[in-house]
Amino acid sequence: MNNLSQHNICPVCGSSHFEVFFEMLEMPIFCNVLWPEQKAAQNCDKGDIKLAFCSSCGFIGNVAFDSSLLDYTQAYENSLDFSPKFQEYSLSLAKRLIESHYLHKKDIVEIGCGKGYFLLSLCELGNNRGVGFDPTYVPLSEHEKVKDKVTFVQDYYSEKYAYSDSNFVACRHVLEHIPQPNTMVESLRRAIGSRLQTTIFFEVPNALDTFHNMAIWDIIYEHCCYFTSVCLSYVFTSNGFQVKQTSEEFGGQFLCLEAVPGVSTKEKTKQQSIDLQQLTQDIQKFSSRFASKVEAWQSKLEYITSKNQRTVVWGAGSKGVTFLNLLKNRNDIEFIVDLNPRKQGMYVAGTGQRIVPPSFLQEYQPELIILMNRVYEQEIRQMAADMGISAEFICV
């Protein structure tokens, strides 16, 4: 099914209390596809975001989403692995998972492994064997030397690969792209079958950060689903898993879940009911809080323009792309910095700013740098200081 919901039925719990509360129209279909030409970037395909909320299970999804518009290819580039801060997080996550689940000489599957960095860490640090699945995987020469232990399949994971005898299944930043999350989790449960010792680990963006803490630049077309802990747990417990823990990571921006096969239940704990009530209130206020935040930024940009301050944005990921697309007076910003060399020289979808490496700033000497993610503030300030740039910084 291409779409997420028909007749206002929640795709997660089946409730009919699934109502649209927020719209963001004409946004780029892909934030993370590379555009080598400015005009093509500006004229990229656009789609509507109409978010609905289910007050029964807490699910949030884009009911205008059409997955037939998206085709994940090797031109898709959402790797965050070029940031030392992100590498540090991924590495500490791999170490924690190896330690807490005794992952030594085990078989590990990663669904949606991207370019394979995380799977390689799990396999190298724990001396494990691994299989990674991802249609956007690009064969890399450094993967040659580990090919006896780690293999990559350039395809979506599906039950046809259930033979992969795994003790541990990791899946990071995939579920939010799937219009029918139940179907994916159900199929994973079937693939695991009677291997009841298998542990699964899922990581998604934390929707509480977006809808409670107002990290609004995280709303993108590619993400048709948004999960808080309550709903993410529900997806797994109602599809034959027992959730061992959920945790917020990476400064609260990510939500992690660990589970094992178990008996399906649709019951909520008392704490989950309280969390759901709080989320319901956040959702009711969201549209007006969103509008105020965008307006405040619009005024800030007007002020910056009136002062003729040379300004760049730092971070050409989803947040940077949404930020620029939402602000009407973004044309005063010409450049956006990103550490990922595969993005440099390309253009931002929808608005056409050129993506430049940090070294470009030595020549450009910006007076103001708008940081798209507070988590990277220290590393970016340090990098700028090392290059002799004395710009002012603001975080969105």
- The SS3 of residue 26 is strand
Name the CA radius of gyration of the chain, rounded. 21
Query: Which residue in 70, 63, 73 sits closest to 18, CA to CA?
Result: 63
Structure-token pair, residue 64: 């205008």
**18 or 217: CB nearest Zn ion:** 18
- Order of all β-strands in the sheet with 60-62: 18-28, 46-54, 60-62, 225-226
What minimum distance in Å lies between the beta carbon of 28 and Zn ion? Answer: 28
Q: Which is nearer to Zn ion, 204 or 304 (CB)?
A: 204
SS3 54: strand
CB of 338 to Zn ion, least distance (A): 36
CB of 7 to Zn ion, least distance (A): 14
**What 3-state DSSP class applies to 75?**
coil
Complex with Zn ion: residue 269 or 365, whichever CB lies closer = 269
Site residues (vs Zn ion, CB under 5 A): 10, 12-13, 15, 54, 56-57, 59
- Measured from the CB atom, is 15 or 278 closer to Zn ion? 15
Identity of the residue, 276 or 356, whose beta carbon is nearer to Zn ion in the bound complex:
276
- Amino acid identity of residue 96, one-letter, is R
Tell the smallest beta-carbon distance from residue 53 to Zn ion (Å): 9
- State the nearest-atom distance from the C-beta of 17 to Zn ion, in Å: 7
- C-alpha 102/C-alpha 312 separation (Å) is 45
Spatial contact of 183 and 211, defined as CB atoms under 8 Å apart? no
Which of 318, 316, 322, 323 shows the shortest CA–CA distance to 339? Answer: 316
Question: Is the CB of 52 or the CB of 191 nearer to Zn ion?
Answer: 52
d(CA 265, CA 221): 31
CB of 227 to Zn ion, least distance (A): 11
